[in-house]
C-alpha cells in the first residue's frame, strides 16, 4: 500500500528512541528538543482573548497581515533588513513546514542539497521525500563541529541546488559568528546554490547577537530563504507557528504549495505570535536560565570524562562517549533502562556519530543535577 520511497525512508532516530521512553516512569528526559518553560503568560493571554472574541476563522494563505507586518518591522528595526510583508513573508506551521515548503518549492528530483552533519533529523528526510539527494558535509569535534571550508569548496563542485545552514546549530550548539558566515558566503556567492538558513535558535545565543545570513552581504538576501519561528525562543512549540522570508518568487511558490496542503497556520497561534515580539524580558529570563544550566552540565559531563565542547547557542550538548566502548544506541538504551535517563544517540543526527550522545539541557537544574548523579553511577558500572 505504501509508496516505495516512503517505505525506504528511515524513521526519525529521536522518535524511534523515545517510543521506548513512553510508558516508563521516573525518567529524566534530556532527549526531546523543546523548552521546559510554559509559554509566557502575556502570549497565552492574547490567545485566550482571541478565542473569547470568537476569532476562529481561516486567515489569508500567507498568514495574518498584522503578523507579517510585525515580523517585517522586527527585522527592519533590529537589523535594517527589509522584507516586504505583502510578498516576501509567509507564515507557516512551525519552521518544520517552512523547511518542507522551501525544499519543495526549489528542488527537482535528483537535485543535490548540502546538509551539514550532525544535522537536524528533518533535513535529509524532507530532501529525500522529494526524490532529491542530501550530500553531507561531516563536521568533527576536533574542529569544534564547524564547517570545514575546504570540504565546502569540494562539495560545491557537485553543483548543489541548495545548502541548509542552521545557526545556532542543533545538535551541537555551534554558533557561527559574522566573520565565519562571511567566509561561507565567499564560497557560495560564486555559485547558483540557494541558502536555506534555519535560524530557529537565533535568540538562544550566549556569545553574541543573532545575525541573519541574509545580512552577510548585499547580494546574500536574494539567494537566501530565511526560516525562523516562535517555538524555541518563546517556548511556543505547541502553537506551531513559524515563518519564511525570501524573494517574492520563492515566497509565491511556497505559498502555492502551502495554500493547497495547509491553507493557513492556525489563527489563534498567529495572534499569539504577534505578542511574542513584546515578550523580550521573558525571553532574556529563559535564556539566562539555559545558560546557567549549560555551564553546570558541560562542567559535569567533562568531569565524568564525556568530552563536551561548551555550546555557544541552542540548548544541546553533543558529548563524546568513545571512552566507554559502547555504541551510542546501546549506551543510550542501557542508560535509559538502568538509570532512567533519556538522551539521544548521536546516530540520529548522522551515521558517523555512533560515539556521541545529544543531551538537551532544557530541563530544570534540579533534574540536571539528579541526571548527573545517575549518569555517574551508570558510568562506574560499565567501566
Ligand atoms: C534545527 C531545527 N529546525 C527546526 C525545528 C522545528 O521547529 P518548529 O517547532 O518551529 O517546527 C527544530 C525543532 O527541533 C530544530 O531543531
- pLDDT tens sequence across 183-203: 999 999 999 999 999 999 999
**Residue 40 per-residue DSSP state:** P
pLDDT digits (tens, 9 = 90+) for 122-180: 999 999 999 999 999 999 999 999 999 999 999 999 999 999 999 999 999 999 999 99
Domain identity same for 93 and 166: yes
The rounded distance, in Å, linking the Cα atoms of 197 and 166 is 6
Q: Are residues 291 and 189 in the same domain?
A: no
CATH number of the domain that residue 327 is part of: 3.90.1150.10
Quick one: pLDDT at residue 23? Answer: 78
Determine whether the shortest distance from the Cβ of 237 to ligand 1 is under 6 A.
Answer: yes
State whether 164 and 261 are in the same domain: yes
In this structure, are residues 112 and 132 in contact, taking their beta carbons and an 8 Å threshold? Answer: yes
C-alpha 332 to ligand 1 mean position (Å) = 22
User: Please, what is the end-to-end C-alpha distance for the chain in angstroms?
Assistant: 48
Ligand 1 atom index nearest CA of 166: 1
CA–centroid distance, residue 95 to ligand 1 (Å) = 6
72 with 212, same domain? yes
**With a 6 A CB cut-off, is 94 part of the ligand 1 pocket?**
yes
Asked if the model's pLDDT at residue 382 lies above 90, the reply is no
Residue 15 has pLDDT above 80, yes or no: no
Q: What is the per-residue pLDDT across 267-276, written as a single tens digit (0 to 9) for each?
A: 999 999 999 9
Give the structural domain span for 369: 4-39+281-382
Atom of ligand 1 nearest to the CA of 97: 11
Is any atom of ligand 1 closer than 6 Å to the C-beta of 229?
A: yes
CATH of the domain at 117: 3.40.640.10
Share of the chain above pLDDT 70, in %: 99
Question: Would the CB of 224 count as within 6 Å of ligand 1?
Answer: no
- Under DSSP, the state recorded for 313 is B
47 in a structural domain: no
Distant-in-sequence, close-in-space partners of 121: CB < 8 Å, separation ≥ 6: 12, 13, 14, 348, 349
353-365: pLDDT as tens digits: 999 999 999 999 9
Task: Give a yes or no: residue 226 inside a domain.
Answer: yes
96 CB under 6 A from ligand 1? yes
Q: What whole-number distance in Å separates Cα of residue 107 and Cα of residue 92?
A: 19
167 lines ligand 1 (CB under 6 A): no
Q: Are strands 162-166 and 28-29 parallel, antiparallel or unpaired?
A: unpaired
The residue written with cell numbers 502555492 in the block is 256
Q: Which of 222, 244, 278 is the last residue of a domain?
A: 278
> What is the per-residue burial (b if ≥16 Cβ within 10 Å, else e) of 172-203?
bbbbbeeebbeebbebbeeeebbbbbbbbbbb
- Does residue 120's CB lie within 6 angstroms of at least one atom of ligand 1? yes
CA 132 to ligand 1 center in whole angstroms: 21
Cβ 102 under 6 angstroms from ligand 1: no
Q: What is the number of the ligand 1 atom nearest to the C-alpha of 237?
A: 9
Give yes or no for a contact between 311 and 172, defined as CB atoms under 8 angstroms apart.
yes
For ligand 1, what atom is nearest to the CA of residue 98? 11
Cα–Cα separations (whole angstroms), residue 63 to 57, 89, 241? 12, 9, 10
In 10 A of CB 362, how many CB atoms?
23
Q: 548585499: which residue's cell?
A: 218
Give yes or no: residues 274 and 290 share one domain. Answer: no
Q: How far apart are CA 286 and CA 362, in angstroms?
A: 10
Long-range pairs of 211-214 with CB within 8 A, sequence gap ≥ 24: 211/167, 211/177, 211/178, 211/181, 212/75, 212/79, 212/81, 213/165, 213/167, 213/181, 213/185, 214/81, 214/245
Q: What values do phi and psi take at 236, rounded to 5? A: -120, 35
144's CB contacts (< 8 A; 6+ apart) are 174, 309
In a domain, 29, yes or no: yes
CA of 85 to the centre of ligand 1 (A): 23
Report CA(137)–ligand 1 centroid distance (Å): 20
Contact residues for 273 (Cβ-Cβ < 8 A; gap 6+): 43, 67, 70, 91, 230, 236, 239, 241
Tell me what percent of the residues of the chain surpass a pLDDT of 90: 91
Give yes or no: residues 198 and 307 share one domain: no
Cβ of 35 closer than 6 Å to ligand 1, yes or no, is no
- CA 314 to ligand 1 centroid distance, Å: 11
Distance, CA of 238 to CA of 128 (rounded, Å): 26
CB contact at 8 A, 136 and 169: no
CA 210 to CA 190: how far, in whole Å?
25
Ligand 1: distance of its center to the CA of 165 in Å?
Answer: 13
Q: How confident is the model at residue 17 (pLDDT cuts 50, 70, 90)?
A: confident
Q: Is residue 262 part of a domain?
A: yes
User: Where a domain ends, among 219, 251, 278?
Assistant: 278
44 in a structural domain:
no
- Dist. CA 346–CA 50, nearest whole Å: 42
**Are 185 and 325 found together in one domain?**
no
Q: What is the pLDDT of residue 20?
A: 77
Ligand 1 pocket: which of 18, 96, 119 to mutate (most atoms <8 Å of CB)?
96
Number of domains within the chain: 2
* Comparison of pLDDT for 295 and 323, the residue scoring more: 295
Is residue 207 located within the same domain as residue 327? Answer: no
Q: 33 CB less than 6 Å from ligand 1? A: yes
Is the Cβ atom of 172 under 6 angstroms away from ligand 1?
Answer: no
Residue 274 and residue 310 in one domain:
no
Return the pLDDT at 25. Answer: 86
Place of cell 540557494: 194
pLDDT digit string (tens) for 298-351?
999 999 999 999 999 999 999 999 998 899 999 999 999 999 999 999 999 999
Of the listed ranges 22-36, 180-194, 243-257, the least confidently predicted one is 22-36
- When pLDDT is cut at 50, 70 and 90, the band that residue 235 belongs to is very high
Cβ-Cβ contacts under 8 Å for 111 (sequence gap 6 or more): 132, 133, 160, 161, 162
Residue 170 lies in a domain: yes
- Ligand 1 centroid distance, CA of 196 (Å): 13
Instruction: Say if residue 172 is in the same domain as residue 241.
Output: yes
Pocket lining: 270 vs ligand 1, CB cutoff 6 Å: no
- Are 218 and 130 members of one domain? yes
pLDDT band of residue 280 (cuts 50, 70, 90) is: very high
Same domain (yes/no): 88, 210: yes
Please identify which residue in the block is written with the cell numbers 546538509: 115
- CB of 200 within 6 A of ligand 1: the answer is yes
- Calculate how far, in angstroms, residue 378's C-alpha sits from the geometric centre of ligand 1: 31
- Among 58, 155, 56, smallest CA distance to 114 is for 155
CA distance 111 to 32: 31
Is residue 49 in a domain?
A: no
- Answer yes or no: is pLDDT of 32 > 90: no
What residues does 90 pair with on adjacent strands? Answer: 244
pLDDT number for residue 383:
65
Residue 261, domain member (yes or no) = yes
> For the chain, how big is the Rg over CA atoms in Å?
21
Domain C-terminal end among 220, 246, 278 = 278
Residue 146 dihedral angles phi and psi, to the nearest 5°: -95, 155
Amino acid at each position: 500500500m505504501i509508496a516505495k520511497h516512503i517505505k525506504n525512508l528511515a524513521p526519525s532516530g529521536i522518535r524511534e528512541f523515545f517510543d521506548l521512553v513512553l510508558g516508563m516512569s521516573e525518567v529524566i528526559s534530556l532527549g526531546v528538543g523543546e523548552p521546559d518553560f510554559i509559554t509566557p503568560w502575556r502570549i497565552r493571554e492574547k490567545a485566550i482573548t482571541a478565542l473569547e472574541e470568537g476569532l476562529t476563522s481561516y486567515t489569508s494563505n500567507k498568514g495574518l497581515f498584522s503578523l507579517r507586518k510585525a515580523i517585517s518591522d522586527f527585522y527592519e528595526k533590529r537589523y535594517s533588513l527589509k522584507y516586504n510583508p505583502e510578498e516576501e513573508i509567509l507564515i507557516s506551521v512551525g519552521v518544520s513546514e517552512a523547511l518542507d515548503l522551501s525544499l519543495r518549492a526549489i528542488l527537482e528530483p535528483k537535485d543535490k542539497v548540502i546538509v551539514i552533519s550532525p544535522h537536524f533529523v528533518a533535513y535529509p528526510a524532507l530532501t529525500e521525500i522529494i526524490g532529491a539527494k542530501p550530500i553531507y558535509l561531516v563536521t568533527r569535534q576536533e574542529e569544534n563541529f564547524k564547517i570545514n571550508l575546504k570540504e565546502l569548496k569540494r562539495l560545491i563542485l557537485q553543483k548543489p541546488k541548495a545548502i541548509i545552514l542552521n545557526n545556532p546549530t542543533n545538535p551541537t550548539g555551534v554558533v557561527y559568528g559574522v566573520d565565519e558566515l562571511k567566509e561561507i558566503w565567499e564560497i557560495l556567492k560564486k555559485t547558483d546554490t540557494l541558502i536555506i538558513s534555519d535560524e530557529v535558535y537565533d535568540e538562544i545565543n550566549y556569545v553574541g547577537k543573532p545575525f541573519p545570513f541574509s545580512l552577510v552581504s548585499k547580494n546574500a538576501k536574494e539567494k537566501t530563504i530565511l526560516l525562523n519561528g516562535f517555538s524555541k525562543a518563546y517556548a511556543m512549540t505547541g502553537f506551531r507557528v513559524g515563518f519564511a522570508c525570501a524573494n517574492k518568487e520563492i515566497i509565491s511558490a511556497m505559498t502555492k504549495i502551502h495554500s493547497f496542503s495547509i491553507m493557513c497556520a492556525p489563527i489563534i497561534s498567529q495572534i499569539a505570535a504577534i505578542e511574542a515580539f513584546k515578550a523580550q524580558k521573558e525571553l532574556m529570563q529563559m535564556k539566562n536560565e539555559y545558560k546557567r544550566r549549560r555551564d553546570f552540565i558541560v562542567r559535569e559531563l567533562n568531569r565524568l570524562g564525556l568530552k563536551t565542547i561548551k555550546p555557544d547557542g541552542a540548548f544541546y550538548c553533543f558529548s563524546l562517549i568513545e571512552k566507554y566502548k559502547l555504541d551510542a544506541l546501546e549506551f543510550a538504551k542501557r542508560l535509559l533502562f538502568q538509570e532512567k535517563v533519556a538522551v539521544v544517540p548521536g546516530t540520529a543526527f548522522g551515521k558517523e556519530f555512533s560515539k556521541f550522545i545529544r543531551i538537551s539541557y532544557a530541563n530544570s537544574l534540579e533534574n540536571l543535577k539528579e541526571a548527573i548523579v545517575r549518569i555517574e553511577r551508570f558510568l562506574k558500572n560499565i567501566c
